[in-house]
Amino acid sequence: MRIVCPHCGERGLQEFLYHGDATVTRPRDGGAEPTPEWTDYVYLRDNPNGAHRELWYHNAGCHAWLVVTRNLRTHEITAVETAHDVALGRLS
Amino acid sequence: MRLSHGGIIDRSKPLNFTFDGRSYQGYAGDTLASALLANDVKLVGRSFKYHRPRGILSAGSEEPNALVELRMGARREPNTRATMVELYEGLEAHSQNRFPSLKHDLLSINGKLSPFFAAGFYYKTFMWPASFWEKLYEPLIRKAAGLGRNAGLADPDTYETGNLFCDVLVIGAGEAGVKAAHEAAVKGARVILCDEQAPGDAVDMPNVKYLPRTTVFGVYDGGTYGAVERVSDHLAVPAPHQPRQRYWRIVAKRSVLATGAIERPMVFTNNDLPGVMLAGAVETYITRYAVAPGGRAVLFINHDGAATVLAAMGHSVMAVAAVVDARPESSPVIRDMAAAFSVPVFAGAVIRRALGNLAVESVEVFTRDGGVVRFDCDLVAMSGGWNPALHLTSHLDDKPVWNDAIAAFVPDGLPPGMTAVGAAAGDAINQNITPLWSVPGADSKAFVDYQNDVTAADIRLAKQEGFIAVEHLKRYTTLGMATDQGKTANVNGLALMAMATGKTVPETGTTRFRPPYTPVALGALAGPHRGKSFKPTRYTPTHGWAKSLGAVFVETDLWLRAQYFPKPGENWLAATNREVLAVRQHVGICDVTTLGKIDIQGPDAAKFLECVYTNSWTNLAVGRARYGLMLREDGFVMDDGTTARLGENHYVMTTTTANAGKVFQHLEFCHQWLWPELDVRFISITDQWAQIALAGPRSRDVLRKIVDDAYDVSNAAIGYMAAGEVTVCGGTPGRLFRLSFSGELAYEIAVPARFGGTLAAALMAAGEEYGIVPYGTEALGVMRIEKGHPAGNELNGQTSAHDLGFGKLLSKKKDFIGRAMAARPALMDQARPNLVGLKPVNESDRLRGGAHLLAHDAEPVAANDQGHVTSAAYSPTLGHSIALAILKHGASRHGEIIRVYDPIRNGDFLAEVVNPVFYDPEGSRLHA
């Protein structure tokens, strides 16, 4: 598998660590109580048959966290963004 | 028999080799298989289950029978395909799976017992009584089954891994592959051409990197291909500085599958006798290796392709007794070729069975009109058609499709960027074929899968017992398993199941292929990454200094740390006790460089710390340090450490040794993904700074002699948990932290890593008058247990802040990682096992890590388990064994006597539950 890191270019799978689902969002100001919203954020994951957004870490590279859009059936990667940019976009 | 001319062997280079201890001669260019056939050695192995005599079936990597143990000693490799072994001077090979000898194999009795060994026999035969399984059946099966023996010694060879990039990867250097490589190369594409065989005609084209002896074994995502190059397997030993094999990761924009096709055996009784061979292999042995695999042959076919085999045999010295063509009418191609060599053709006929003892001696042919003709022969060349070698096409989940015209599966969907050409695509094979999946009357001696001894009868039995689905058929009969993965067997087996169920082949399905195409040595996948190259050693900056003092070292993760510094005659315990007492009474130093160190800077650094630590940070003054606790988002403890504020926007965090990398990655995650708006940056400085703990009541006296005079180190200036930048030893930049893991007045001094050894020596010299000692990780551990500090054994991923007595560190005023989930009632439940100290009632009893805790009068059964000892040590300060443990309701049970049960080390005694801080619980020594 190859991932095109926005900083480093196309690199092999062995440079990256898989983290998990990029579609779940940590409750901002979600409070101190273990609400269902928190439980969903920590434990509940979808396993879509098709495109999915995932967090990867360029461990043996630039240390950037990446949001990789990947088809879970074909493994085709259609987009790679830095997590930082995506997270800033989510704020604005 | 060796032919007098032809072939691509080099008759000027004879090579000596041995098989089962007997000496033979072959030529450069031979394989072990061709050289054995040239010496008329036909019997080369015994079959897996029935121990039937077996010969050489094929001339390629699909070989199911001719598996040998190659080489001797540490290089001995079992299950090596003789057809893929290039001959070299002095080659030694042994047959396998036979006792006492290949010709007289006692376990061939299994063949007579075949009714017991039919499909599913493992599941039926060894069922009863259950108690016999472990003691009797399994050892017996293990002894009788299996093929060759492993070397049992460390592999003396080296392996390499590498990456290659190209525009076009061509897999297979046959006619179609070479053509494809040429076409791509002339257009300017960078081409890699891989072929699993030895180099034949030199492939020398511009833009083409030719890799002979290289098998592409797997297709992976993103145009990545796995290949193994057998760099030195054709040599007795690898040349100096050469690997045995090289694992290539090839990244290709496009690929061309030119892998050709694999021939199907005919399924008839005794079709496994040595001398029964695939027709294409016979042709290869004659034309490539100049070997006649027999003197008098019968050709058994059902399509036109074998005409070239007939020609090859006819042009050689071989006699051909008959062509048995199973088609109702033979074709002009066959008839004309047979006529050219005056060979009779029997159309509409089949070989009903082969006869012979250790090799084929004759065949019985059933003719179209019902007659039986017997031909004497020592070779049966058979071809039931060819299967495109399309294995790689299904590695990314694509399925081949059945082509009725050629009675074979052909590639359908292909991995992205792949094209199939030539026979691999089903081109020009199986012309005018009439499928013959088994000869009428094929029985329990008619083999479908040679390697696993699966017969036509086994497949009918599997159907009868309901194992009809392809994947069930495979698992029940073992069809298609083991080293050859059914390359010659799968389609015949599938078709026989289709016949038995009255379905078509495509209705019955196909097993799909997974990597690897052929067996790959684990050594090749590991490459150079073994031993210290897999797990390198990290040396601390004081390693040389500690070594010069006779330190004994211990591995902690990758680090090698000084464990203790024995004096002559001291064992580890005596040394550790002495070191602990010296620190408690005087002063000592210990390298603590291995703790993770992260430099954090930026206007939002304090806000960021608030996010990742449970406790408060915005109120930490410049020049102060603080203990911090990190949780995972699920509320369990992740790590701990101290963080010091060196400047307005500048902090230095420490982590545990084990979690240094993980915490750094976590901080990057929190910053880049969760709190991207924070203006903060960080970098790991673990390797840049050497850090030494200076601990003990006299530590300030020593410190004063090390820190330059411009800096006041009095208790007033550098109080407990103070931190700041200093210079030491006359101008060396340093950082000074008043931290204590030991519970004594203590400091940690950091200097640039290259000065670590010098600083240690300077501290020792400065402390000599105070009785300073170096201490290692053992003494460090003892003192932290005496002080009740949780460490790795307590931060085990299953403990909450409350379990460890850190409940007060969970801020109620701010958000932090893990805050909400840590508030789950179950994580705060006092009934959970939580941190306590243990003291044996009888002070001579020794507490050990891992011992279970029970109520003092409880039976030692799992249901009564209340916790376990996490860390234990002998405390020289207290004069007895002590331990930290996690115990249900522990915090409220101080003073209670409990049972410490440790059956594997014969421990069973009583201990008192106590405060986990054994030593100086008020902390007065810290503040001295």
Is A82–B672 a contact, with Cβ atoms under 8 angstroms apart? yes
From A4, which residue of chain B is nearest by alpha-carbon distance? B222
pLDDT at B441: 87
3-state helix, strand, coil in chain B (%, to 5): 25, 30, 45
On whether any CB of chain B is under 8 Å from the CB of A24, the answer is no
Evaluate whether B538-594+688-783 and B830-928 have a shared fold: no
On whether any CB of chain B is under 8 Å from the CB of A72, the answer is no
Q: Which fold has domain B596-684?
A: Alpha-Beta Plaits (3.30.70)
B808: exposed, middle or buried (Cβ count in 10 Å: 0-12, 13-18, 19+):
exposed
The CATH homologous superfamily of the domain defined by B159-257: FAD/NAD(P)-binding domain (3.50.50.60)
pLDDT at B127: 57
pLDDT at B443: 87
Is B673–A83 a contact, with Cβ atoms under 8 angstroms apart? yes
CA B659 to chain centre: 24
Is B677–A29 a contact, with Cβ atoms under 8 angstroms apart? no
pLDDT in tens, B670-687: 999 999 999 999 999 999
What one-letter code names the amino acid at B687? D
Euclidean distance between CA atoms B810 and B639, whole angstroms: 14
From A72, which residue of chain B is nearest by alpha-carbon distance? B221
Of the residues B614, B662, B672, B675, the best mutation for testing chain A's interface (the one with the most A CB atoms within 10 Å of its CB) is B672
From A73, which residue of chain B is nearest by alpha-carbon distance? B397
Place of tokens 């036109």: B304
HSE of B578, CA atoms in CB hemisphere, 13 A: 16
Cβ contacts (< 8 Å) between B674 and chain A: which residues?
26, 87
Domain boundaries along the sequence of chain A: 2-26+33-91
Confidence of residue B149 (pLDDT cuts 50, 70, 90): confident
- Domain B262-385 maps to which CATH number in 3.40.50.720, 3.90.700.10, 3.50.50.60, 3.10.180.10? 3.50.50.60
pLDDT in tens, A35-83: 999 999 999 999 999 999 999 999 999 999 999 999 999 999 999 999 9
Residues B666 and B638: beta-carbon distance below 8 Å: yes
Is A55–B673 a contact, with Cβ atoms under 8 angstroms apart? yes
pLDDT in tens, B63-117: 999 999 999 999 999 999 999 999 999 999 999 877 777 777 777 777 666 666 6
Residues B475 and B462: beta-carbon distance below 8 Å: no
On whether any CB of chain A is under 8 Å from the CB of B251, the answer is yes
B44: exposed, middle or buried (Cβ count in 10 Å: 0-12, 13-18, 19+):
buried
Strands (E), B829-903: 833-840, 852-855, 867-875, 880-888, 897-902
* Cβ partners under 8 Å of residue B865, min gap 6: B852, B853, B854
Q: Which fold has domain B830-928?
A: Elongation Factor Tu (Ef-tu); domain 3 (2.40.30)
On whether any CB of chain B is under 8 Å from the CB of A77, the answer is yes
pLDDT at B204: 83
Q: Which two tokens stand for residue B525?
A: 């996948």
Give me the CATH code for the A2-26+33-91 domain, please: 3.30.2270.10
Domain boundaries along the sequence of chain B: 1-155, 159-257, 262-385, 443-513, 538-594+688-783, 596-684, 830-928
Among A1, A29, A65, select the one facing B672 at the smallest CB separation.
A65
Confidence of residue B202 (pLDDT cuts 50, 70, 90): low
Among A29, A33, A91, select the one facing B677 at the smallest CB separation.
A91
Of the residues A75, A78, A85, A91, the best mutation for testing chain B's interface (the one with the most B CB atoms within 10 Å of its CB) is A75
* pTM of the predicted structure, to 2 decimals: 0.90
Report the candidate in B110, B103, B115, B124 with the shortest Cα–Cα distance to residue B49.
Answer: B110
On whether any CB of chain A is under 8 Å from the CB of B650, the answer is no
Confidence of residue A30 (pLDDT cuts 50, 70, 90): confident
Show the CA angle centred on residue B360, arms to residues B359 and B362, nearest 5°. Answer: 150
- Domain B443-513 maps to which CATH number in 1.10.3470, 1.10.287, 1.10.10, 1.10.260? 1.10.10
Element (H, E) at B244: none
Q: Which two tokens stand for residue B724?
A: 């700041």
ipTM: 0.98
Report the candidate in B346, B289, B286 with the shortest Cα–Cα distance to residue B312.
Answer: B286
Is A26–B222 a contact, with Cβ atoms under 8 angstroms apart? no
Cβ contacts (< 8 Å) between A84 and chain B: which residues?
672-673, 676
Helix pair angle (B307-315, B332-340), 10° resolution: 0
Is A55–B220 a contact, with Cβ atoms under 8 angstroms apart? no
Would you list the DSSP string of B55-113? Answer: ----SSTT-SS-EEEESSGGG-EEEEEGGGPBP-TTEEEEE-S-SB-SSSBGGGHHHHT
Confidence of residue B138 (pLDDT cuts 50, 70, 90): low
